[in-house]
């Protein structure tokens, strides 16, 4: 749920491609006014229309043109909406099998939390948001119920998932570089790049000559900037100098200041940056980007390594989340297979047929 939207439809539908149910073609077994049937449960056309209405409002709020009916984009959106509703019905059915029930108190409590989190408990703001999105209180509660059911199913499915100390140690060993901070230091630099060669110069020799001339001009300018930087002194302000000369858009506004780690930058820049003494200004060094005038602003900060004891709980939680996600994905795949023969669609609402695979 985003801060200003109760039901982020497009984000929800994006997930459907992973967890959607599937079924056969169009069928006359679907009652009038419905778009699909999951077991004995009809999915009403009004539910489908409500989802597309929300999508249309979302497009409008993003100043995007809603896809034309019949276009590939519209058909894809329609298929996602249908499968989202099918999946919701499948989850409802499986919740019963798993003994999951959602009380009115749970719905009301979650709704109060939403109002507090996103609207500061202001009922008028909440009501306005519903109106802007074309939602009723019943639709909101239905979506909250579906969300809680999904959460409870996930808890049941992943209840036995565990991560042992050996798993944590193995992950730490395999990803040691993640927990190592290389040597670093603060520097400032001014980049003088060669001017681009005119597009009209295409002959190889002429182009090479023009590029060499542009590089030489950049070197001459770099020497001038170096002399000006030295004249400013070790503690001089490079703000004006960087703004006037530097071709590095990421640092020129801050006087060329950067914090770099060993091995993070191109080799020539990296080598000189870590060789300089504190406050020393290096003579222009050439890299693939041009010439750099660099000054060391801090001592070299030594490499640090986070010990296993410092990160083991973070790793454990990360692995738990990963395993729970894998367990849920496997469970959903099983549900898709279970309902494969239990889902029928009204004509025009069938899911696309997967492309046939071939063997070489």
pLDDT in tens, the chain (360 residues): 444 444 444 334 433 333 333 444 445 578 889 999 999 999 999 999 999 998 999 898 899 999 999 999 999 999 999 999 999 999 999 999 999 999 999 999 999 999 999 999 999 999 999 988 888 888 999 999 999 999 999 999 999 999 999 999 999 999 999 999 999 999 999 999 999 999 999 999 999 999 999 999 999 999 999 999 999 999 999 999 999 999 999 999 999 999 999 999 999 999 999 999 999 999 999 999 999 999 999 999 999 999 999 999 999 999 999 999 999 999 999 999 999 999 999 998 998 876 655 544
Could you tell me if residue 358 is inside a domain? no
Tell me if 350 is assigned to some domain: no
- The answer to whether position 170 is within a domain reads no
For residue 258, the model assigns a pLDDT of 96
**Is 125 found in the same domain as 21?**
yes
Regarding whether 205 and 329 lie in a shared domain, the answer is no
Q: Are residues 251 and 149 in the same domain?
A: no
The reply to whether 297 and 324 lie within a common domain is no
Q: What is the pLDDT of residue 132?
A: 85
Instruction: Check whether residue 79 and residue 99 sit in a common domain.
Output: yes
67 and 96 in a single domain? The answer is: yes
Its domain, for residue 90, covers: 9-163+311-345
Q: Which of 255, 215, 264, 207 is nearest to 235 (CA)?
A: 255
Q: What's the pLDDT at 356?
A: 57
> Given this model, what pLDDT does residue 15 score?
37
CA triple 55-57-63, angle to 5 deg: 105
Largest CA distance in the chain: 87
Name the phi and psi angles at 316, rounded to 5: -60, -45
pTM higher than 0.85, yes or no?
no
Pair 153, 199 in one domain: no
List the CATH number of the domain containing 269: 3.10.50.40
Q: Is position 319 within any domain?
A: yes
Does residue 322 share a domain with residue 278?
no
User: How far is the C-alpha of 188 from the C-alpha of 281, rounded, in Å?
Assistant: 9
Cβ burial 158-176 (10 Å sphere, 16+ → b, else e): beebebeeeebeebbeeee
Q: What is the CATH number of the domain that holds 54?
A: 1.10.4030.10
User: What is the per-residue pLDDT for 28?
Assistant: 55
Same domain, 15 and 107: yes
- Residues 145 and 193 reside in one and the same domain: no
Residues 225 and 278 grouped into a single domain: yes
User: Residues 107, 212: one domain?
Assistant: no
State the total domains in the chain: 2
User: Is residue 3 a part of any domain in this protein?
Assistant: no
Decide if 320 is inside a domain. Answer: yes
């Amino acid at each position: 749920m985003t801060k200003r939207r109760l039901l982020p439809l497009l984000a929800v539908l994006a997930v459907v491609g992973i967890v959607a149910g599937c079924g056969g073609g169009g069928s006359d077994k679907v009652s009038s006014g419905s778009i699909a049937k999951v077991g004995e449960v009809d999915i009403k056309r009004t539910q489908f229309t409500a989802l597309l209405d929300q999508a249309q409002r979302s497009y409008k709020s993003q100043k995007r043109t809603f896809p034309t009916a019949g276009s590939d984009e519209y058909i894809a959106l329609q298929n996602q909406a249908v499968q989202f509703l099918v999946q919701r019905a499948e989850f409802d059915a499986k919740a019963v099998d798993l003994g999951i029930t959602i009380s009115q108190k749970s719905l009301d409590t979650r709704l109060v939390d939403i109002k507090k989190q996103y609207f500061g408990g202001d009922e008028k703001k909440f009501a306005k948001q519903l109106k802007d999105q074309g939602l009723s209180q019943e639709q909101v509660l239905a979506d909250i119920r579906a969300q809680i059911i999904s959460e409870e199913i996930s808890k049941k499915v992943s209840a036995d998932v565990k991560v042992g100390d050996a798993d944590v140690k193995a992950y730490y060993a395999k990803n040691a570089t993640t927990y190592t901070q290389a040597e670093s230091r603060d520097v400032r630099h001014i980049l003088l790049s060669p001017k681009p060669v005119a597009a009209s110069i295409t002959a190889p020799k002429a182009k090479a000559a023009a590029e060499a001339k542009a590089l030489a001009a950049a070197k001459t300018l770099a020497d001038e900037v170096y002399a000006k930087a030295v004249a400013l002194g070790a503690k001089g302000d490079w703000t004006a100098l960087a703004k006037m000369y530097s071709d590095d858009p990421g640092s020129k506004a801050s006087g060329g200041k950067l914090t770099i780690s060993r091995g993070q930058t191109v080799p020539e820049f990296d080598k000189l940056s870590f060789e300089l003494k504190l406050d020393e200004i290096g003579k222009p060094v050439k890299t693939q980007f041009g010439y750099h005038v660099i000054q060391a602003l801090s001592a070299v900060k030594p490499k640090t390594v986070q010990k296993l004891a410092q990160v083991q709980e973070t790793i454990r939680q990360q692995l738990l989340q990963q395993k729970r996600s894998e367990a849920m994905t496997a469970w959903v795949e099983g549900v898709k297979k279970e309902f494969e023969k239990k889902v029928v669609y009204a004509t025009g609402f069938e899911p696309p047929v997967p492309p046939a695979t071939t063997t070489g």
